[in-house]
């Protein structure tokens, strides 16, 4: 196999069930760095056994700062971000190899195809989404706590090939993420001074969120799961604004 001069960056915490399969799909890279948020399972050991360099650093709820730290550790001119629950397809490997060889300075966006192990949902919140993942290291940073954004001086380009995203293994994992993300979103909104209205944001906004996902984004085509995830999006929206509302009222305490 031809090794590509690209650094793969993976942020992880307690991902032992994902690391081996994930790392197997990026063995084309001549550097793989896992930024481990002090996992209590075998994430570190599995990653090192697969040839990755592991750096342990606490995320402290700040995805952007953790990703920026990861970028700073890379030795290569090109970097490629991947989540532990994602897999690189063989066709995408070839595209990355070509792009790095051409060395034209663009930031590349790649579509993700969401997959479950036992069920199928490809509409609504699980319709394919594009994520920025491949770019030059120089002058690239990431900002944002919950939904971080890349900042770079490069023109955007899109790659036809895609990443496979193995979303959630179980409902506990899904519920944990919803709870965590709504808390972080509410904290960010308060920090930014975002206003919140009980009627507009807690009563009406979730209804619109459900309608957008279930009807406009065709969630109904995914049957029972489509309805469930659309309702969960309703709950997600209500929860983050409810948490914000009570952060202002009583610092989040009941």
Q: What is the pLDDT of residue 1?
A: 62
Q: What is the pLDDT of residue 199?
A: 97
- The 10s digit of each residue's pLDDT in 177-221 is 899 889 989 998 999 999 999 999 999 999 999 999 999 999 999
Burial bucket for residue 30 (CB in 10 Å: 0-12, 13-18, 19+): middle
Q: Find out whether 240 and 187 touch, Cβ atoms under 8 Å.
A: no
pTM, two decimal places: 0.81
DSSP per residue, 61-108 = T-HHHHHHHHHHH--SSEEEE--TTEEE-HHHHHHHHHHHHHT--EEE
- Our measurement of the distance from residue 64's CA atom to the centroid of its chain's CA atoms, rounded to an integer in Å, reads 11
- The 10s digit of each residue's pLDDT in 51-88 is 999 999 999 888 999 999 999 999 999 999 999 999 99
pLDDT tier for residue 122 given thresholds of 50, 70 and 90: confident
- The 10s digit of each residue's pLDDT in 11-54 is 999 999 999 999 999 999 999 999 999 999 999 999 999 999 99
Q: Find out whether 135 and 107 touch, Cβ atoms under 8 Å.
A: yes
């Amino acid at each position: 196999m031809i090794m590509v001069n690209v650094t793969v960056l993976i942020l992880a915490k307690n991902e032992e069930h994902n690391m081996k399969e994930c790392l197997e799909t990026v063995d084309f890279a001549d550097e793989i760095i896992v930024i481990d948020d002090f996992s209590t399972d075998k994430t570190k050991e599995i990653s090192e056994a697969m040839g990755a360099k592991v750096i342990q650093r606490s995320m402290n709820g700040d995805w952007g700062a953790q990703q920026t730290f990861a970028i700073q550790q890379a030795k290569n001119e090109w970097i490629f971000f991947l989540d532990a629950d994602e897999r690189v397809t063989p066709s995408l490997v070839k595209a990355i190899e070509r792009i790095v060889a051409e060395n034209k300075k663009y930031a590349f966006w790649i579509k993700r195809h969401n997959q479950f192990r036992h069920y199928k949902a490809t509409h609504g919140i699980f319709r394919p989404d594009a994520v920025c993942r491949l770019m030059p290291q120089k002058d690239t940073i990431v900002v944002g706590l919950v939904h971080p954004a890349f900042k770079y001086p490069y023109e955007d380009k899109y790659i036809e090939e895609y990443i496979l995203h193995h979303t959630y293994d179980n409902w506990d994992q899904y519920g944990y993420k919803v709870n965590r993300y709504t808390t972080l979103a509410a904290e960010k909104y308060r920090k930014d001074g975002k206003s919140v209205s009980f009627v507009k944001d807690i009563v009406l906004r979730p209804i619109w969120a459900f309608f957008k996902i279930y009807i406009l984004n065709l969630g109904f085509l995914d049957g029972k799961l489509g309805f469930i995830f659309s309702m969960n999006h309703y709950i997600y929206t209500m929860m983050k604004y409810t948490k914000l509302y009570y952060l202002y009222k009583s610092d989040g305490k009941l």
